Structure 1
Amino acid sequence: MIRRVDDYLHAVPLSGSVAELVGPFTLFRSTTVWPYYARPVPGANATIEPTDIDVLRSRCAELDIPVNFEWVVETCPSLGPAAAAAGLRVVEHPLLVLGRDDFRPAKADARCEILPAEDAVLRQARAVAGLAFGDPGTAIGTAGPAERDAKAAEVPDKLIEAVLDRVRKGVTVGAAAFTEDGMVASGQHQPVESTTEIVGVGTLPSMRRRGLAAAVTSVLAEHAFANGVDLILLSAETKAVAAVYERVGFRRIGTAGAAE
């Protein structure tokens, strides 16, 4: 299972990047408006040293791109210590998976649906996610519909064009929850063959603790399973956030590492 997840995570950046081998890493050079990262080559079983990080750092400097890593800790346990020794900030997150038989649909007092490829709708979804991740955690906050609308007006046109292109190609599928206040939670999944990852699920801080994130996750899972996917994965910010997904049937299988 871990190997399958690792292979998926190595394939998914290819929809928006060019892959380049740099030592024991694949560096995904972005061809879109957001940056990507480097990952250990799957199955290589390399022991990463701080000098390997330095080589990658030099290549990123040549390309004028940020130094970022993402990996599955269980498949490359040496990367975290090497990255820390090389001066990078290392974080770890719970890595969870969901199979069709374990799926437990969740409902909320909201209308939850898959989003169309429409500019205004995707702007709202980006704004909701931006406010959610700008105030991380599960505690109720202050940002609500007014802040969402203000932030949506600030989303760059180039970013929306890129998101629209991905939605039209089917490499990104968005979903959202709506109440009388409009869109209050959003998220996405990114299918590659029979595996997908749910990403960017967030709720307006003022609307938390209402089951909205679980409901959006449920709609995304239903869409994925109805369209040929049989394994869904995600990484949660914290154990408390992971508990939201466990209500839908996700179970932890490992740890996702990131360094920058």
Structure 2
Amino acid sequence: MQQLERIEHYYDTVPRVAATTEEVGPFTLFVADGSTGWQFYARPRLGLADDITADDVRRVLARQQELGVPRAVEWVHETTPSLLAAVREALPDAEVEVVPLMTSDRDLPGRNGAPGRCEVLRSDSADLAMVVGAVGAGFQGTDTVEPGSLGARPHLIDEGNLVMVAAYDGRGAVVGGGSASPRGDVAELMGISVIGSARGQGIGTAITAALRDECRARGVRTVFLTAASHEATSIYRAIGFERIATGCILEGLDG
């Protein structure tokens, strides 16, 4: 199986442990279990060979609106090249986030002397909620870390479907974290974030390496992620990731 095909199978598999699905034209619509605290999206149906039209896009967005869930679509451009034009025809004023999809099939460098430590958390870790809060604080650009809602995370950790890593500073305070969702021999790294005052010290690299190491210990061969900025792309490339495709994200239509 080719690498992108394996990643597409992964994308179709991951939400199913915490969502119901509905086929809407050429899309699979994932609707999150309300207990998780998460929101999902629609993706092109696995194995789809037909072009997607603007009417198809309007139909799946209307169905999301009927269900009272956020209108959101995610896809890989190289796998479904017709979808970007269809979205732009259906929603001329909407912004589509276009990001590098990067993968590593080989070992990455280690922590490179980052201060503090990184730790893979158990489902009953007292720091689990603080990691959720620290990741949110990092993305929001604040240094104020408050405990976050755990949702289904402890259950997913116990089931082996989620890895969470905490990053600590030299005083032992949680300053960031990240997660991964291993499925078979593929895993995506997600939500890697560090609060502002702790950036520039190699902690993000340390989180990435810790997640990689844990996934590899579980038999994962392909580790991949999407990079949200040019800076992130440069960092991930420097530690062994290579761009193989383009991820597309349509969201924020209800805000």
The TM-score, its normalising length taken from structure 2, stands at 0.90
Q: Which residue of 2 aligns with 1:174?
A: 164
2:13 to 11, 14, 17: 11
Preserved contact between residue 125 and residue 185 of structure 1 (Cα < 8 Å):
yes
Mapping for residues 54-93 of structure 1, pairs under 5 Å: 54-87=58-91, 88-93=94-99
Quote how far apart the aligned CAs of 1:221 are. 0.4
Q: Which amino acid aligns with 2:184?
A: E
Q: Which residue of 1 aligns with 2:122?
A: 116
Quote how far apart the aligned CAs of 1:102 are. 4.1
1:199 to 183, 190, 194: 190
Q: Which amino acid aligns with 2:197?
A: S
Deviations 1:131-173 (A, max 9, x none): 11113xxxxxxx33xx11xx22xx3xxx414222211222111
Deviations 1:56-81 (A, max 9, x none): 12211221111111111110112122
Structure 2: state its 5+ residue gaps: none
1:34 aligns with 2:38: yes
SS at match of 1:219: helix
2:110 to 97, 102, 105: 105
Preserved contact between residue 26 and residue 52 of structure 2 (Cα < 8 Å):
yes
Deviations 1:168-226 (A, max 9, x none): 22211101221215111200110111110000000011111111001011011011111
Preserved contact between residue 61 and residue 72 of structure 2 (Cα < 8 Å):
no
SS at match of 1:160: coil
Q: 1: distance between equivalents of 2:88 and 2:139? A: 24
Q: 2: distance between equivalents of 1:118 and 1:93? A: 34
Preserved contact between residue 114 and residue 219 of structure 1 (Cα < 8 Å):
yes
2:250 to 225, 236, 259: 259
SS at match of 1:74: coil
Q: Which residue of 2 aligns with 1:140?
A: none
Moved over 6 A (4+): none
Structure 1: state its 5+ residue gaps: 136-142
Q: Which amino acid aligns with 1:166?
A: L
SS at match of 1:232: strand
Quote how far apart the aligned CAs of 1:45 are. 2.1
Kindly tell me the number of residue pairs found equivalent between the two proteins.
Answer: 243
Q: 2: distance between equivalents of 1:246 and 1:124? A: 29
